[in-house]
Amino acid sequence: MSLNNIALSGLIIEEWYGDSTLVMGSPAPIKPPEPSVQPAAAATPPTPEPQEYKFLGKNTRRTTIIVDSPGSPFLPDAELTFLTKILEACRMNIGDVAIINHHTAPVAITPLRQQLQPANIILFGVEPTAIRLPINFPEFKLQPYDQCTYLAAPPLEQLAGNSTESKLLKSKLWVCLKALFDV
């Protein structure tokens, strides 16, 4: 029985509405509803937030990188290599960060902050509202909020190319990373 097809007995209606119920004509006897057998709908349970997020790296510098990469536990090799070069330019390595794939384990900001206690969160191809941040901000803008600095950027695969557009995006990212990590 779905919520749209609930049958209430006369006793319940009388209890809820009391004297404000208007009966027109002679009251018809109320038949108890016949139980209807409906096939069980394939209910998809809501995806629970993971108890602990699995991440790549050791998070020694309290910097969390959230990516959206279908088909890979964390990142495909080409994107991981590109990210490693970005981190090296910032005088960091994979051990300094925690990389989480939002596609594999949808991220919610509150449990993430409780688990990893990040000082910085970089979103590659993930909207701020997708991780349940109560604020939204444009790409390539350092956004301090609740004792953490956020940076949104396009997906790594878009940045990794050699086109003019990719080079422009990389330069915008580099300006933000220099300010974020004092390099």
DSSP β-ladder status, 63-67 and 120-124: parallel
- State the pTM of this model: 0.72
- Return the percent helix, strand and coil in the chain, to nearest 5: 35, 15, 50
Q: What local confidence, expressed as pLDDT, does residue 8 receive?
A: 63
Query: Going by C-beta distance under 8 Å and a sequence separation of 6 or more, which residues neighbour residue 157?
Result: 78, 79
Find out if CATH 1.10.10.10 is the number for domain 63-181.
no
Burial status of residue 55 (CB atoms within 10 A of its CB: 0-12, 13-18, 19 or more): buried
Taking only the tens place, the pLDDT of each residue in 142-158 is 999 999 999 999 999 99
| Position 71 confidence tier, pLDDT thresholds 50, 70, 90 | confident
Section 17-42 average pLDDT:
56
Longest dimension (CA), the chain: 85
